[in-house]
Amino acid sequence: MSNIKRRRKIDVSCVLNTELCVVLAALRRSCDPSTTDKTYSNNDVSLQQSLRSLRSLIFNLRQEWRNVDPSIYMSPFLDVVQSDEVPALATGVALSSILKILRLEIFDERTLGAKEIMNVLVGAATGCRLEKSETSYVEAIMMKILQLLLGIMSHPASILLSDDAVCTVVNTCFHVVQQVQCKGDLLQRNGKNTMHEIIQIVYSRLPEIECEKKQDQKTSESDDEDLDADNDVDSGYGVRCAVDIFHFLCSLLNVVEIFETEGMSSQRTDEDVQVFGLVLINTALELSGDVIAKHPKLLRMIQDDLFHHLIHYGTRSSPLVLSMICSTVLNIYHFLRSSVRLQLEAFFTYVLLKIVAQGSSVQLQEVALEGVINFCMQPAFLFEAYLNYDCSFLCGNLFEEIGRLLCKHAFPVDNPLTSIQVQAFEGLILLIHAIADNVDKAGSVGLCGPYEVDVSVYTPFWEESPKGDKDTDGWVESLRVKKNQKKKILIAGSHFNLDDKKGLEYLKLSNLIPDSPEEKAFAYFFRFTPGLDKTMIGDYLGDPDEFHIHVLKEFTQTFDFTGMLLDSALRTYLETFRLPGESQKIQRILEPFSEHFFEQQSSDLFESKDVVYILCYSLIMLNTDQHNPQVKKKMTEDEFIRNNRAINGGKDLPREYLSELFQSIANNAITIFCQAGVPAEMNPNRWIELMNRSKAMEPFVTHEFNHKLARDMFANIAGPSVAVISAVFEHAEEDDILNECIEGLISVARIAQFGLEDILDELIASFCKFTTLLNPYASPEETLYIFANDLKPRMATVAIFTVANKFGGSIRDAWRNIVDCLLKLKRLKLLPQSVVDPDALLADEPSDSTPRSAQAGLQNGTGFGSKSQKASTIGRFSHFLAMENGEDSLVLGGSEFEQNLKVIQQCKIGSIFSNSAFLPEDALLNLGRSLIFAAAGKGQKFSTAVEEEETVGFCWDLIVVLGFVNFDRYMTIWPAYHEYMISVAQFPMFSPVPFAEKAIIVLLKLCLKILSSYQSENNLEELIFKSINLMWKYDMEILETCSDAIMQTVCKILNDYPANVQTQLGWKSLFHLLSVTGRRPDSYDQGVETIINLLHNCTHVSRTNYAYCIDCAFAFVALKNSPVDKNVKILDLMANSVKVLVKCYRSFSDPGTTMSNASSSSTEENTMRSGNFTMNLFVKLGEALRKTSLARREEVRNHAVSSLKKSFIFANELDLTPANCISSFAIVIFTMVDDLHEKMLEYSTRANAEKEMRSMEGTLKNAMEVLTDVFLHYLRLIAENPGFRSFWLGVLRRMDTLMKADLGEHGPSKMEEVVPELLKKIIAAMKENDILVPRENDDLWEITYIQIQWIAPSLKGELFPEVDM
């Protein structure tokens, strides 16, 4: 033996010897010196002798103490404790000695005899007799007993205790607690602590106990047998002990105390015992954890007994007890929620939600609310509630009810907010944060669509979602379908209550029942749809139609009457509908009930289902008799029993059974006329039904928060949540509450980006009101003062612009409110220069290297407000309230204006527009619409014209910034913007000035941006020019008022970027604006130089723009008092432009070449490729020159005539056809001659206009010369045309007209000299070309000869000498 072991052995021996001495000393001391009781003396001597014998042994021990049977050295002490005659002092000393020996751990569970001694110790301690002890010693001894019991349970060998021994220990501790008269006594507290520690020891061992392998879960008896069989005798206490103790703890909830009031005794629950019991139950649950689920009986005790007690006392207890109950249920949720699905729902429905809604005291409401909030704080509770209840037809909408309850009690009515309102609001914000924190996990891919799904095919709505991988899209989609089915069923229920046929038809339209009606679907609809009119259900089920009868049978099959008495089952059955009054309907309804009840009974009480039917009918009649006030003479119990004799197959039912039924009905009526909406209590019948349902119900599904369903969850409570946040912000004064409102707003924004944009719009619209910026009745001074001195408007302002910056992609209609606030800040001069100056905003635009592909993600709501941005945004808004840097804080110093300006700087308004490239399309369209409508005056109130002009200009500057920043999406957004511009004209108070005036300037800037580079998509160009043209059509005067800006932009485009103009609309608009604005003297020079440069270069003049270019050139020439040299130059360029037509004609004629600047439109291209189009352009040129020939200034007229001649000569290369040549000749030259002749005659009739007449006559002479030269140039070509005869007659007719021109008092016309010469020239050429010669079947010569006689008879002989000869 080693020295250490020898030393240990000696130490133990010394301790035992010391304890022996102490006990012997106590025994020697007589409690009563005067006594001469021999029995006592003899017993005392015997005990002393036993102790002395042990003393002789302990120092002569030859083996280790660990191997010694503990009973050898423990028995003498136990004898003292168990003796009835030992004085109290000696008993106390012996108890202390035993405890000390146990703490030495001389033996352990492996020591021989350890089990026996441990159980004997329990028996000795719990059986200690104190009847003869003095009162002063009793409490001390009881204290020692408690210490010893705790020492026994803490000893390593305690695992060898039997189940009964452990139960005895617990019972003894509780007995000590209850025996103490003074409730606050130290002994009682010690007893409670001891019992608490023992419970911890027992249930901390439960996870170590292997679960029984085969448990019969049908009856408690089988449970007991299994427990006995599985518990090895040598293994010590186990599951049976845990079950019995837990049953005992549950029973503590039912402990009552008797008290007297006004001489009468009554009972009430002992609150202290209930709290103590709940503390111990919580301890057991916390230590056992989910291991309880492996022990069926213990689990069923929690499912049934414990939960029933918790729900029963939940609404009948004090705030303290309710708080403990909530903690207990929360523990059960943590560890065992998979097994208590319906129980959890019942607890919320019948306890928490009910107390909050109908609480009798504020304290109870606060505790219940706290309980609800504690559940909401659990990471997965909200999602699991939605998954297990809201998405299941057979359960209520627990998540939705919680959300709406919080909203209802958080909604403020008056100031200040009550504690209930604050508590409920904090819970609501917690709920919203939980959803927001999970909705954008993993980018929330696939959440961009609407949150509701269509029920396109029929699936049984009462069946749970299919099991499988709970993270697949299919599983999520099935849950969404189930939820939508549930919503539609509620709608169908509303229709059913109004019209049963319409309600059932709606079920079919919504694919909730198959095309061929299914009885089971109707049955489940009637059975589980809340709020149905129970009278209408009863009428339907009692209908004799065969299908209705089948529905009734299926309806009855939905009940489980196992374990119910007949009256309980009948009550449960008749609670779901109103029993019709007709006897035939009652008979039809009771028949399937009787059959179903009979089939589910395990006893042999009833011979057949007919017995049940007869007895049911009898019970209904009894119920009417006992509870109908019109029945004066009530049936007695004997009469009821006599009426039901021999109904059980000719035999009587047990009298006790019938008596019990009678008493049940007499004391508690069966509700056969109930209606929907009546609040129900959790009674024993409903609890039995719930337990029966739970057996067939799918277990509670545990799952982490799934972001794919988070949006759907919030959508169910979004409306009231938004209303509450807005209302609380309006009524609250405390900074913390205001801060929570702002955080709620930001969390709503995080959720709204996934398809709930209308919700965010509503909330932003409300918060915009709190900024005080939209008050139309407040003066600017008042607004500035309020804004500077009230924290709430500043917080609201920073909040809405923060949301606009971070979550602008989720905003739709609310952009209008934000723009209104922005414009008010502009009028108050609170906007930073970086916002007012569009160039500064564009300087902040993301670089072109920023990948625009990121915007594709914006369409799905994932790009705007990235996860890091959201995390920073959702941070406590107190960041704005009290920053360390005073310059960035909302609580600022300085003047009111400086304070306000610093607040607005924090809003970062400019980023909304400079970063708008990251906005999705819908948000960008709504923002643009809001700006356009605001520029048109919608919702605006201006005090001065200058203010209106500045505001409108600011709006248009922001619009052009949007266009610049989103240039790559121009084709997407601008068509809608254009439609908005058209629609503003319908506004009642719309005024085109300054709307159109400011618009055309910024639109031209955008146009310049577009045309500054080549655009492969020419639709961009058409869109902007449509908008530009729309603006000047609103008011033509803006072309005058904005002429400088228009001229600068147009000239910049035509001079620097003409190659990028690709559309006819673009060229037409540019030339039109150039010609109109060029009329002004101060812009004429720039305009005329632009058109001259364009015509001179001719590189960018094409078929596309030729006509518009000629029109513009003509417009400059036609201006009064324009410089002649400029006009002459333009006319020369116009004549030379025919070469452009020739070049274009040849390029189009060559299939291997293409025309530059051609339109992309295939229709236009085909038209341009036709020869007629080129001819039309040429005629267009001729028309312009012809019109110029009528100008007032002679130099211009004559040059126009000569230019016309030049153009016709150049046109020879256009390969004109005879028909084209004659047509253009007639349209241009004939018309020019006719117009000049008419003008000459007009001047001849005016007084003092001879000079003008002679000048016009000179131009006419030149025109006739041009006619002659062009005629001769194309003579051979036009002679080939069949219409040459008519054409030639036209030439002769005009010569005849000129020859006979009457100039009145001014004398003969010079045409009389000119025409004959020209005629001779033409006739000679025609003869020379063998055109004018006599021919058979051709009267051209004869007609010419006749016409010459009329025109110039003197030339007849000279021109036709052969006729004279």
C-alpha 219/C-alpha 255 separation (Å) is 26
Backbone phi, psi, residue 376, to 5°: -65, -25
DSSP string, 382-439: HHHHIIIIIT-TTS--HHHHHHHHHHHHH---SSSPPHHHHHHHHHHHHHHHHHHHHH
The count of other CB atoms within 10 Å of the CB of residue 33 is: 6
Distance of alpha carbon 1281 from alpha carbon 1287, whole angstroms: 9
Residue 248 CA to residue 281 CA, distance in Å, equals 10
Asked if 530 contacts 396 with a C-beta cutoff of 8 angstroms, the reply is yes
Contact partners, residue 91, CB within 8 Å, separation at least 6: 80, 81, 83, 128, 130, 133, 141
In terms of Cβ atoms closer than 10 Å to its own Cβ (0-12, 13-18, 19+), residue 337 is: buried
CA geometry: angle 1103, 1104, 1108, nearest 5 deg: 95
Token match 């040549």: residue?
1221
Instruction: Give Cα 1145 to chain centroid, integer Å.
Output: 61
- The CA–CA distances, whole Å, from 219 to 222, 249, 297, 307, 606 equal 5, 21, 10, 19, 21
Q: Are strands 256-261 and 264-269 parallel, antiparallel or unpaired?
A: antiparallel
Cβ(707)–Cβ(441) under 8 Å?
Answer: yes
Q: Please report, in angstroms and rounded to a whole number, the separation of the first and last CA atoms in the chain.
A: 178
- The CA dihedral of 963, 969, 974, 976, to the nearest 10 degrees, is -130
Q: Which two tokens stand for residue 1095?
A: 């015509």
Characterise 651 by phi-psi region: left (phi > 0), alpha (psi -120 to 50), beta (else): beta
| One-letter identity of residue 597 | F
Q: Find, among 241, 233, 335, 331, the residue nearest to 279 by Cα.
A: 331
- Residues in CB range of 893: below 8 A, 6 or more apart: 886, 899
922, 758 Cβ separation under 8 angstroms = no
* Active-site choice (257, 582, 639, 1037): 582
Which tokens go with 669? 């009526």
Nearest of 183, 166, 189 to residue 118 by alpha carbon: 166
The answer to whether the Cα torsion of 85, 86, 92, 97 is positive or negative is: negative
Q: How many CB atoms lie within 10 A of CB 1324?
A: 13
- Of 439, 449, 451, 380, residue with least CA distance to 865: 439
d(CA 503, CA 793): 49
3-state SS, residue 752: helix
Q: Is 582 a catalytic residue?
A: yes
CA distance 847 to 409: 50
Nearest to 171 by CA among 94, 248, 273: 248
Contacts of 1293 (CB under 8 A, 6+ apart): 1347
- How big is the CA angle at 1195 (ends 1193 and 1198), to the nearest 5 degrees? 105
**269 φ, ψ (degrees, to nearest 5):** -70, 145
Give me the active site residues, please: 582
